[in-house]
Structure 1
Amino acid sequence: MIRLPLLESSAPDRFPDPRSALRDPNGLLAFGGDLSPARLLAAYGQGIFPWYGEGEPILWWSPDPRCVFRTDALRVNRSLRRQLRGKPWRISVDQAFDAVIHACAAPREEGGGTWIVPEMMAAYSALHRLGHAHSVEVWDDARLVGGIYGVAVGRLFCGESMFSAESGGSKLALMALAGLLRQWGWPLIDAQVANAHTLGLGAEEMPREDYLREAARLIILPGRMGSWASHSSPIQPGDRGCA
C-alpha cells in the first residue's frame, strides 16, 4: 500500500522534501491541496509539479532523474530550416496563451486522454494573468500551428506542454523559447519526465539532486523585466531569437 503525505490547505508553500518522493512510481511525492497561484509557484520553486488525470486527486511529483533542455544547446538545425523553407510562419509570445493550453489539452492522434484537465487549464490561465505563465505561439497567417507554455520562476522556465497542428510547429516554438531565454541568461527549461520525443529534440536527464541545486540557484535570480509579449511579431524562424 502506498502512503502519501496529504498537503494542508492552510499552508500552500509547504511540501515534503522532494528527496522523499517514491521510486515507484518514480517521483510521486504527495497528494491533495489545490492549484492556487501561491501553491503552484511554491511547488515549482521547490522542484515539484502537479500531474494527475480526470477523476484523480491532485498528485505532486519530483522525479529522479529530471528531464531538462539546456537553452544554449537548442538551435534551429538544418533539417528544420529545410522543413520551414517557404512557409510564411511567424512567432509570437503571450499572444494566445489560452488557445495554446487548449490545443495542448486536445486529444492526440495516437489516442488516449489528457492530463490537462479543466481545473489545470484554469489554474495556469490564472498564473498567466498574473504574469507567471507564458506561451510561445507559431502562426500560419491567422491559424495557430504550434505552441508551448510553462511557468517562469526567477530565471527557471518550467515547461508544461507543447503541441503541433503542422509538422515542425512545436519544435519551432521550443527553439524560439530557448532562443529568448538564452538571450536573457536563463540556462534551463524543465521538461519534467523524459520521453522519446523530448530526448529526440535535445533534452537530457539530470540527477534530481543536481536539478534541485540548480533550481534553487535560479529561482532567486531576477527574472524577465517587462512584458514578454513585446517579443511578438519581429521573431521569425531564421532570426537570432530562435537561431
Structure 2
Amino acid sequence: MLSSEHLPEDVFGAPVIHPELAIQAYTIGLFPMADDRDDKNVHWVDPIERGILPLNEFYVPKRLKRTVLNPPYEVRANTAVEAVIRYCAASSVGREDTWINEPIIEMYMNLFEMGHLHTVECWQGDRLVGGLYGVAIEGAFFGESMFSLERDASKIALVSLVARLRIGGFQLLDCQFMNRHLEQFGATSLHRVAFRKLLDKATQVTAAFPEVVSERELRQFLQSSSQTSKTGCSMALSAGDEANIQPWNTGVGAASFGNS
C-alpha cells in the first residue's frame, strides 16, 4: 500500500495529492483513504477483494422503484459538490471518525474542476438531503461515498447514478468494499487481479457522465432493471438506513459508497 510518504507536502505539512497522480492511481486500482478525518496522512489502498456493481445487473427493489418514479425529492447532478463531500466526511452518531480528510477533499475538488468527479444530489426545496459522489475516468466510475438525511435519499441518488452511467456508456462501477447493504442492489466482489482486468478494459472506453436524465430514460432504465434477477447481482452502492451518513468505503468508520 502506498502512503503519504510518497506524496509532496504543502506548507502545513499535509500531503498534497496532485490530480494527475490521483488519476494515475485510480487507473491502476488504487484509491485514497485516511485513518480519520483529522489525520494529515493519506494511504493508497489496494484491497485483495474488490466490490463492484455490474451495471447490467443492477437490481431495484419494487418499493424503491415506486419511490423513484414518484420521488419526494428533486434529483440534480454536480450542483453542490463540496457540500456533498463534506456531508460524507462529517461524523455522526455511532460513526465519530471518517476516512475523508482535508487533503482528500482538496483532491476531489481538483478532480471536479478537471471533469473527473461527479455528484448526484437529492434536494427537498433548497435543502440538500442526500447524495453521493465518485470519480470518473473514461468508462470506469469509482463510487466514493454517500449520505442520507431523509428517507430513501441516498438510495434514490444511487438509482439515478446507475441510470446515468448506463446512459453515458460506462462499463464499470467500483464500490471498493463489499457489505450487506450493497447486496440488495446486486453487488459482488472480485479478486483484485480480476478487477484490474475489468478496470483496464473500462478505461479504454470513452464515456460521458450525463448531468440530466429525462423521465423517459429513467423509466426505460427501471424497466430494464426490473428484468434483472437478484441472483448474481452484487456490487452496488447501497444507501442503507435513512438519516445516516454513508460511505462507499466501509471498514474505516467513514461514510462509504455502499454503507449508507
TM-score range, shorter chain: 0.7 to 0.9
Identity of aligned residues (%): 30
Shift, 1:195, TM fit: 2.0
- In the alignment, which of 206, 219, 226 is matched to residue 203 of structure 2? 219
User: Counterpart amino acid of 2:132?
Assistant: I
| Displacement of 1:46 | 0.4
Q: 1:123 to 1:5 in 2, by over 3 A?
A: closer
Q: Tell me the SS of whatever aligns to 2:141.
A: strand
Moved runs in structure 1, 4+ residues, more than 3 A?
2-6, 81-88, 234-243
- 1:109-124 aligned at under 5 Å gives the runs 109-124=93-108
Q: Secondary structure at the match of 2:53?
A: strand
Tell whether the 8 Å contact from 2:3 to 2:42 is kept in structure 1 after alignment.
no
Partner of 1:145: 129
1:43 counterpart residue number: 25
Q: Distance in 1 between matches of 2:32 and 2:219?
A: 34
Amino acid in the other structure paired with 2:108: Y
Q: Is the 8 A contact 1:75 1:179 kept in 2?
A: no
CA distance 1:81–1:113, change in 2 (3 Å): same
Query: 2:6 corresponds to which residue?
Result: 7
Residues 220-235 of structure 1: pairs in structure 2 closer than 5 A:
220-224=204-208, 228-229=210-211, 231=212, 234=214
1:160–1:131: structure 2 CA closer, same or farther, 3 Å change rule? same
Structure 2 unaligned regions, length at least 5: 9-13, 224-260
Please give the alpha-carbon distance, in whole angstroms, between the structure 1 residues aligned to 2:21 and 2:52.
22
Compared CA separation, residues 151 and 84, structure 1 to 2 (3 A)? closer
How big is each residue's C-alpha offset from its partner over 1:167-212, in whole Å with a ceiling of 9 and x where there is no partner? 2111111111111111222132111111222233332101111110
Which residue of the other structure, out of 219, 222, 229, is the alignment partner of 1:239?
A: 219
**Count of aligned residue pairs for this structure pair:** 217
Q: Which moved more, 1:177-186 or 1:149-158?
A: 177-186
| CA deviation after TM superposition for structure 1 residue 116, in Å | 1.1
Give the Cα separation in 2 of the matches to 1:205 and 1:175: 20
Q: Is the aligned partner of 1:96 residue 2:75?
A: no
3-state SS of paired residue (1:42)? helix
In 1, Cα distance between equivalents of 2:169 and 2:52 = 16
Write the distance in 2 (CA, Å) between the matches of 1:81 and 1:165: 20
1:51, 1:92 → 2: CA distance? 27
Please report how far the alpha carbon of residue 89 of structure 1 lies from its aligned counterpart in structure 2 after TM superposition: 1.7
Gaps of at least 5 residues in structure 1 are 10-31
Q: In structure 2, do the counterparts of structure 1 residues 198 and 76 end up closer, same or farther at CA, with 3 Å as the change threshold?
A: closer
Q: Secondary structure at the match of 2:119?
A: strand
- Paired with 2:102 and 2:215, the residues of 1 have a C-alpha distance of 31
> Following the alignment from structure 1 to structure 2, what is the Cα–Cα distance between the partners of residues 57 and 5?
6
Is 1:76 the counterpart of 2:60? The answer is yes
TM-score by length of 1: 0.78
Q: 1-side partners of 2:139 and 2:2: how far apart?
A: 34
Match of 1:181 in 2: 165
CA distance in 2 between counterparts of 1:36 and 1:115 reads 18
Q: Alignment partner for residue 195 of structure 1, among 157, 179, 186?
A: 179
1:165 matched residue in structure 2: 149
- Paired AA for residue 36 in structure 1: H
Sort the Cα spacing of 1:108 and 1:238 in 2 relative to 1 into closer, same or farther, 3 A: farther
Following superposition of structure 1 onto structure 2, how do residues 57-76 of structure 1 map, counting pairs within 5 Å?
A: 57-76=41-60
Q: Report the Cα distance in structure 2 between the residues aligned to 1:236 and 1:88, rounded to whole angstroms.
A: 18
The one-letter code sitting in structure 2 at the alignment partner of 1:7 is: H
SS at match of 1:216: helix
Q: Distance in 2 between matches of 1:221 and 1:92?
A: 25
Among candidates 127, 130, 133, match of residue 111 of structure 2: 127
CA RMSD of aligned residues (A): 2.8
